[in-house]
Structure 1
């Protein structure tokens, strides 16, 4: 019987990253940390065996953390510090890339992830973020910070979620002390396939209530949209970005973000939270706690579960090699 490896999830959000690890049957979450109460409640609901700490990570020192979970109890640390300081979708992003890490209070949270990795010195750590976290000196800065806590070699693993059977596009970098190269799937799961077997909104199904209809004028515009067209555009730091896109049923969906709202390909309405969660590969048994907008945000800010699962299988293989 193969061993079950233990891990900590820092900046866990609702638990998309952890869900992928859980689905392999090879990992057990001992501790999750997130300061957003609906996310912490969602995590605890779906992973009742885990200790969930709903606190600001800056307030958690070594004595407190290692008193809850000892360093020799864990094998892996995973986590997703906020991407807002780094992403080009943020119009308030600082101009100097290093300021995004060292001056922006949210960017500094990445350094707190590294601090916690240093407390535990796990066999493997994996930190997820947007590719822009590697731009213009940030890659070297992060390598230096991880070296300070004992990791000489750092790898910046860029992966596409759709390569691992996620029904939406998402490119993310997974920073780790090992190269991470899961086997890609040859399948692409389309929007139509992802949504096809769901019941009508409002039926007894978790997080599947029909969203409020938009105002009449906006509804008329929605009706005229073609597949792939957006109702609105907003300006990020680098370019104009679409929102309220009418999904093309025959392709994967665009990137799901916390602010994303998608229009159903065949009906003049927004997707339900459950439909949006399907686009991120969440299982239907995964329940989101909180208000509707909070639920949408938790879905959009997660690591897609199929991608997380592929990473987890890869890590389990590497850890098995150490055991044997």
Structure 2
């Protein structure tokens, strides 16, 4: 069993995927959102989960809280950086001549650098960082090049995987199109290989990276649908207030549903569903599956008017036989971009969590908005599990070689 810490952990979707392998244990997490940390504490009993700004918790302090436990792996998803040079000697020269003011003024840079400060202190065998795909191209690639320079200059015992990839969760059994950059660094001599794609989706890209070898679709499983994700969950209504409810079906479950329910009984929690206003429900009634706001006739749009030059897809009804589009933290605001495929309401917290591939034994703590946001901010656990399996292979291969 390998120990890992989870930086910018949120509710713990990334960590859950690693623990689902049975090969990794989360011993620590840190995030500045109280409700997310309560969720993390609830679901990771062996973790020292801290609610604090990481800038106020140097790795030396975190190490004391861990009682000196060995950290084999660091995972996390710091906010997308622009790299401030203020107060950080290690990267003072990286952007010295860059004329984009955002690079020196965005406070999120401190958070990103703290991720590498933790790597520098704990010296794990491997670190895994997830971020938005634009990370690789931001400022014409200057951001990513700065990361490489930091590692080459200040963490010389590490190397990055040669070709950093953007993975789509739909290709790993998640009922959702969600693209994330996965950056992996490892101690020299270890190596790392990204997980093989397991699922295909005919309207999506099987293979985001054009340099990969061709994918044999015949050997892949078909994508997981929205219907598979939510159809066995409890029957609820708009403005549902009861968290724990019995499942709507107990027989003829498909493989995804069986996996999600592996550690639960007859009931499941987090079935809270927000109240939709009457005007919105009138509009929902006119929407077929796949319909977006601007597909509606003008007289219907007038029922719930938005700026049509900006909010063309402000309302979207899910398609039950397709995977969902990306579940964002904005689902905590109104959920109009995630209208149930067959009912005139938005998704419940648990339905959104299923689309993110959270197993049903994972319980979210907090009020309605907080739990929705936790779901939307998370790394899909099933994609994280595939990444974890490939990380474990690197550990296994390296330590076998060492013997």
| Structure 2 CA distance for aligned equivalents of residues 97 and 6 of structure 1 | 42
Taking the aligned partners of 1:131 and 1:44, their CA distance within structure 2 comes to: 29
Larger radius of gyration: 2
The answer on 1:165 being equivalent to 2:170 is no
For the 8 Å contact 1:13–1:302, the answer to whether it is kept is: yes
Structure 2, unaligned runs of 5 or more: 84-97, 187-191, 199-219, 237-241, 246-267, 295-305
1:142 aligns with 2:127: no
TM-score of the two chains, using structure 2 as the length reference: 0.71
Structure 1 residue matching 2:38: 3-state secondary structure: helix
Conservation of the 8 A alpha-carbon contact between 1:97 and 1:138: no
What does residue 189 of structure 1 align with? 224
For residues 25 and 100 of structure 2, what CA distance do their matches in structure 1 show? 35
CA distance in structure 2 between the partners assigned to 1:246 and 1:85 by the alignment:
35
2:278 paired with 1:216: yes
How far off its partner does 1:243 sit?
A: 4.1
Counterpart-to-counterpart distance in 1, 2:69 and 2:115: 18
Instruction: Rate the CA distance shift 1:10–1:249 in 2: closer, same or farther, 3 A.
Output: same
- 1:1-324 alignment to 2 at 5 Å? 4-69=1-66, 73-83=70-80, 102-135=104-137, 136=140, 137-151=142-156, 152-155=158-161, 156-178=164-186, 179-185=192-198, 186-187=220-221, 188-201=223-236, 202=242, 204=245, 205-212=268-275, 214-231=276-293, 242-260=313-331, 261=335, 262-324=338-400
Aligned residues: 309
The alpha-carbon deviation at position 244 of structure 1 amounts to 3.8
C-alpha distance in 1, partners of 2:143/2:391?
A: 25
Give ranges in structure 1 of 5+ residues lacking alignment: 87-95
Describe the superposition over 1:159-216 as per-residue Cα deviations: whole angstroms up to 9, x where unpaired.
110110000001100111154410211231000111111111246231102321x222
**Alpha-carbon distance, 1:157 to partner:** 2.4
Q: TM-score, normalised by structure 1?
A: 0.88
> Is residue 81–residue 106 contact of structure 2 (8 Å, CA) maintained in 1?
no
Higher mean alpha-carbon deviation, 158-167 vs 203-212, is at: 203-212
What is the CA–CA distance in structure 1 between the aligned matches of 2:394 and 2:100, rounded to whole Å? 33
1:15-64, Cα deviation, whole Å (9 max, x unpaired): 00000011100000111011100000000000111111111000112321
